[in-house]
Structure 1
Amino acid sequence: MTTIAITIAIILALVLVLILALIARMFRKVGPNQALIIYGLGGTHIVTGGGRLVIPMLQSARELSLELMSFDVSPERDLYTTQGVAVNVEAVAQIKVKNDPTSIKTAAEQFLTKSPQERESLIRLVMEGHLRGIIGQLTVEQIVKEPEMVSDRVRANVAEDLSKMGLEIVSFTIKEVRDENEYIANMGKPDIARIQKEANIAAAEAARDTAIRQAETAREAAVAQALAQQETVIAQTASEARQAEARRDLELKKAEYLAAVKKQQAIADKTYDIQANVMQQQVVAEQVRVQRIEREEQIKVQEAEIARRERELQATVLKAAEAERQRIQLLAEAERQRQILEALGRAEAARTQGQAEAEVARVKGQAQAEVIRATGEAEAEIIKAKGTSEAEAMRLKAEAFQGYNEAAILDKIITNLPEMLAKMSQPLSQVDRITVISTGDGANGSGVNQVMQDLARMVAIAPTLVESLTGMKIAELLERVPGLREHVERSAELQAISPDQDGTGAKGS
């Protein structure tokens, strides 16, 4: 059993090693300067700076270089400028594949099966074509003096075409510009002649300035020499004057020293006299001090005697006075305590009075609230009674209307007749002033009588107006409705007992 197990383990190990070897062989990896293009099963895949398994017989893989490509751009034929001058331009271009997957896939479509020489040849043709077009738009002076401008134009024009191939231009530099007609060599001769002329002029001006400067220097040297001699004389004169001043100062110093010596001698003599007087004054002061000390001792003896007498007075008179003072203080303290107690009593009485007044106010407020509540209840009862009476009147009126249809019509007519008459006379009430002009000879009398007659006619025609509108005669209705008088009297009684709108009286009929 052990041998079989070992054999199985060895076989499994060999199988595992073979699987790992197969996987290692299938795994393809590239560096950061390369792109791995995997195509076949699953489409096209791009891997940069990494690795991936490539399944044999189902997938294939190729490597595409992403490194910078540098090559010379030097057209074999001359390039003609806008002036018609033939020039030979040599440049250096730096090209590389863009790093995004789309550009790498585009470059793989264009260059994957081509060698580096073929790839470079294709790119060079594109660069030379664009360079030829740009040179044809410029002058020789612009090409020679502004190479950076030429390079920028080439990069701008060729970028689109290179992008279609998945490439980008990193740099484009003009190396050399030549021509066989020596146009470029002669182009600088005017500047050279001008520079030589300016150099000769500058040399002549320099020689002239040198001569002028030498003359000025000689003149300045002569002036300086004269000034130096003049300053020498002035210095000698000043030296002699300073020597005379020094001799004068010496004599003055000698005189000052002699005067000071004599002054010091006089001061010394006076100082001796003053010192003698001072010593005499000190002796007198010492005598006065001795006398002062004697007087101080006498004063001390007198003060001791006074203190003794004071103690005697304290023992006899002051003790009694102190006892009286303490008694007066005790009486004053008792009076102060009494006043404090009285003040506290008054405060307590005021507090008690305030509490009593507050209680009275509370009771008064409760009473007022009770009165207000009772008033409200009474008003509510009045309103309730009023509503009940009005409801009863309306109920009786409704019963009368149901029982006596013609009576209801008559009641409505009679009830609304005053309001109708008021509405008819309302325009007249709006008149502020009436001016009546009467001649006295009218058939109806004066103007005032005419106005009154008109009002009377308006009132008289009201029943007729009602009869014409309703088609019913009021007199016939009065005769045809039995018990109408009793109904009217009963309604009047109900109106008399019902309260008015203010709840303080009865409404008359």
Structure 2
Amino acid sequence: MDAGVLAIAGGAVVVLIVLFIILRVLWRVAEPNEAMIISGLGARRVQIGEDSLGFKIVTGKGTLVLPGFQTARRLSLDTRSAEIVVSCVTNQGIPVRVQGAVIYKVGDDFVSIANAARRFLDQQNAMDTRIHSVFAGHLRSIIGALTVEELIRDRERLTAEVRSSSANEMSKLGLVVDSLQIQEIDDASGYIANLGKPHAAAVASQARIAEAQRDQEATEAEQIAAANKASAWRDSQIKQSSYQAEIDQVAARTKQAGPLAEATARQEVVVQETKAAQLEADLSEQRLQSQIRKPADARAYETRTLADAERDAQIARAQAQAKETELRAAADATRVKAAAQAEAEATKARGEAEATATKATGEAEAAAARAQGLAEAEAARAKGLAEAEAIQARAAALAENQEAVVAQELAENWPAIVAAGAQAFANVDNMVVLNGAEGVTELFTKALSLGGAGFGMARQLMDTMQVAKKVADKPATNGTVDDDFGLSLPKSEK
């Protein structure tokens, strides 16, 4: 009994183990990032909208798959990335190269999974190529309606339009776009680079101007600081010299107080010693009177010798003190001289600074005068060139039409010619014209109206006037008629 029960229990356990192993082999579980597509016997039909699926979609759970009767394949729901490189032409006819990236995945809903399974289940590695083809076409069509400036300044508009235009196709493919980024826009013609050059040039110009202004301000600040430093140094030197002079003066007085006091004390000592010597001399004289002459003379001689020695000592000491006083005076003079030299150096520095400023002012005035002279020279040169061009033009005109130029000159100088002729006729006493008044009128009319041809007549008239003037300058006599000029000439001239 016990053996039968054990056998049955053991058989049941074995059956359970076998069933578990079989279930473990037949049971398939879909991972969170994938969808499992089951087709074959017993795969229930799922109605999605108007479409009836012939396969089973399992996401996030497990299901039983019968080998040989059913097939289970997995569709990845992971995020994918596809590089897009498109060469196209803008609305302005400028070729550009656009580089971007699309981040996409299979949609999480059953419709997207079904559409993606029907198209990419066995070709999941080809998704990137299909995505590139879809977005490349839409990019070309949209960029063709935009300008380069719009592409650069409004990339969000470009990406929005591309995503909007490709939404229907991506839905049919069962794909969802997570992100679309336009990374680079290049052009081989350099149009984009040229767009930024004016702004870059303006920024560079502003930077140079700002740098020049800062440099100018820094230079001015440095010059002001240097001037303040020089002024402070000058004031410091002046104050130091003044303080040193006061110190030297007090020190000199202090040093001289000791020798003066010592000299006064010595003077008093000498006075007292002199008084003592005098007393001793008086005492000696009394002794001389009271004692023997020779001892007195000897003592007197001794006293005189001692006095002479003391006097010599006093003289030597006085000379030494005078020498010391002279040395101190020389030292004081040296310090005074040094102070004077320092003051002279400070005055010289101030003079050099003023001379430098005067020189800079003179150089500026000379530069201004030189610029004015250059301007005047340039004006004179321009005036000379203009006059030379006028003379050259007149010479060319004279070479081309001599008679017209001569006529113009004659017309301009005609009043002077007539005046000179009138002045010559004023001194003529008698003038006879062969044709009378008509001859004179005709002569002047032809001279005034013939222009270039009348120049010869004017010359003849001027020569006639000069001859008449010569005749008028001579004494008037009974004259006769000159056949050449029609003038009444003196008989002596005939």
TM-score by length of 2: 0.41
TM-score by length of 1: 0.40
